[in-house]
Amino acid sequence: MDQEQGFLGVLTSSPFRIAIVYSVVFAFGAVALLGAVYFAVSRVIDGSTDNLIAAEVQGLREQLLVLSRSDFIELVNQRSRDQDVHGAFYLMVDPQLRPVAGNLPAWPKIAAGQGKWFQFTVTVPYGDQTRVHEVRAQRFPLPGGYRMLVGHDVQERQDVKNVMMRGLVAAVVMTMLLGIGGGIWMGRRILAHAGAISAVATQIMRGDLTQRLPVRDAEDELNTLAREINGMLDKIEQLTLGMRTVLDSAAHDLRTPLNRLQSTAESALAHLDPASPERRVLERVTTEVDRMRNTLDALLRIALAETGTVAREAVDLSALVASIVELYAPVTEERGIELGSQVAAGAHIQGSRQLLAQALANLLDNAIKFTPVGGHIRVLLRNESGGPEVVVEDDGPGIPADKRELALGRRVRLDEARKVPGSGLGLSLVAAVTKLHGARLVLTDAGPGLRVALQFAMG
């Protein structure tokens, strides 16, 4: 199957197509050139035999005027025996077409409507065997209803023409075969190089910015391009690392004062009277600080997923999904929501366990947050042949089809979500994490409710 696709790939590659176009052009060139030679040579050899016959006819006609019939018969017989004119044929017949003189056994059948020039075949000895030869001839009437035929064997010239025609066909076939062969060879070479480039590009897109495109010794366009892209990748890696450092230090520099603020507020709270107005103020402060910390963490995680600068490891997706379900079981029970799950064993992918866990947690958070009491949530992990698929579905209000794309955006919260807390970052992290893992995020209607599927590709 792979080989078949590889061969199909060669056939549709641009070098192969260019080679085919060129070989068709060259084949036309060969046909034009050899065709012109063929016709020129044919004309020369045809013309020389015709001249020979015409001259012989002229000579005999002149003899007619001066010779008696018996002398003329003698002359024809003599010419027939003459070895100088190889391949010459003569025949003189009486009014009943009976041969009188010459070296042909019988007057040939001449198709009606033929002029003085015509062609027929004779059987001539050829070693131990015989061969049928083509003869070109001219006829003319003699006095007293007699007739005369002068012809010449043109088999040789036919043979030359046949050889030339065969050469012409062979030249065209060879041009086409060389073109196709060359096209396949070039197509394979370019495809192999392009295949290596696209394999590395896929790894780079999945976040491994240390990868570089393969560069070979040869000085061709693909190598130049690969070298330039590698230069660009160096730059991107540098920028991403720089951004990562800024993000890390910003995270650290913001988290520390927030933590300090939180613990100061909490220790102050411990000393305050439960009914005092200061306590209400401090409680609001701790809630806000908590929200700020969550938002900060969410933003950092999204940035991490989007820049792709995360360590990759083998992740047991089955175990991960099962543990998230387990983690959320008490929360759903507390909220009066039924949580069902169906987790296929043995699903493994390459990726970031931490980000995947966060994405799944976000989906369950949403399902719990938007599903009313008495509702149902189902978590499924299917180990499909094309790759594992994780599904989280609820029977809450769902998201209208035209708003699903929008809901994936950063800081987007739909009108219905105003009643519940949140910063609108949950789904954008899910989107970033799916993209980081080369997976597909599909939001559909669970009728009623929302169904979110993460479809991972194999390998």
Ligand X SMILES: Nc1ncnc2c1ncn2[C@@H]1O[C@H](COP(=O)(O)OP(=O)(O)OP(=O)(O)O)[C@@H](O)[C@H]1O
Q: Which residues bind ligand X (CB under 6 A)?
A: 362, 366-367, 370, 394, 396-399, 407, 412-414, 416-417, 422-428, 450
Q: Considering only CA atoms, which of 190, 238, 235, 260 is closest in space to residue 15?
A: 190
Q: Is 207 one of the binding residues for Mg ion (CB under 5 A)?
A: no
What does the alpha-carbon distance between residue 182 and residue 176 come to, in Å, rounded to a whole number? 10
What does the alpha-carbon distance between residue 300 and residue 296 come to, in Å, rounded to a whole number? 6
Our CB check for Mg ion shows the closer of 23 and 366 to be 366
Our CB check for ligand X shows the closer of 167 and 424 to be 424
Question: Kindly report the CA angle at 298 between 294 and 299, in degrees rounded to 5?
Answer: 120
Min dist. Cβ of residue 216 to ligand X (A): 46
- Could you tell me which residues come within 8 angstroms of residue 437 by beta carbon, excluding any fewer than 6 positions away? 206, 349, 351, 352, 356, 456
Min dist. Cβ of residue 274 to Mg ion (A): 32
Q: How many helices (H) and strands (E) does the chain have?
A: 10, 12
Q: Considering only CA atoms, which of 395, 408, 380, 310 is closest in space to residue 351?
A: 310
Report the partner that residue 423 touches, choosing among Mg ion, ligand X, none (CB closer than 5 to 8 A by kind): ligand X
What tokens does 287 get? 């809630």
Q: Is 211 one of the binding residues for Mg ion (CB under 5 A)?
A: no
Our CB check for Mg ion shows the closer of 92 and 359 to be 359
Our CB check for ligand X shows the closer of 389 and 394 to be 394
CB neighbourhood size of 398 (10 A): 21
Our CB check for ligand X shows the closer of 211 and 366 to be 366
Report the partner that residue 413 touches, choosing among Mg ion, ligand X, none (CB closer than 5 to 8 A by kind): ligand X
The label of the residue with tokens 């012409």 reads: 168
Report the partner that residue 414 touches, choosing among Mg ion, ligand X, none (CB closer than 5 to 8 A by kind): ligand X
Our CB check for Mg ion shows the closer of 202 and 287 to be 287
What does the alpha-carbon distance between residue 180 and residue 177 come to, in Å, rounded to a whole number? 5
Our CB check for ligand X shows the closer of 279 and 435 to be 435
Min dist. Cβ of residue 408 to ligand X (A): 7
Beta strands in 83-214 (DSSP E): 88-93, 99-102, 117-126, 129-141, 147-153
Min dist. Cβ of residue 414 to ligand X (A): 3
Q: Which of residues 374-433 bind Mg ion (CB under 5 A)?
A: 426
Q: Which of residues 137-196 bind Mg ion (CB under 5 A)?
A: none
What does the alpha-carbon distance between residue 219 and residue 227 come to, in Å, rounded to a whole number? 11
Report the partner that residue 389 touches, choosing among ligand X, Mg ion, none (CB closer than 5 to 8 A by kind): none
Min dist. Cβ of residue 301 to Mg ion (A): 13
Min dist. Cβ of residue 299 to ligand X (A): 10
Q: Is 366 one of the binding residues for Mg ion (CB under 5 A)?
A: yes
What tokens does 198 get? 């696209």
Q: Is 332 one of the binding residues for Mg ion (CB under 5 A)?
A: no
109-114-117-123 Cα dihedral, nearest 10 degrees: -20
Which residues bind to Mg ion, rule: CB under 5 A?
A: 366, 426
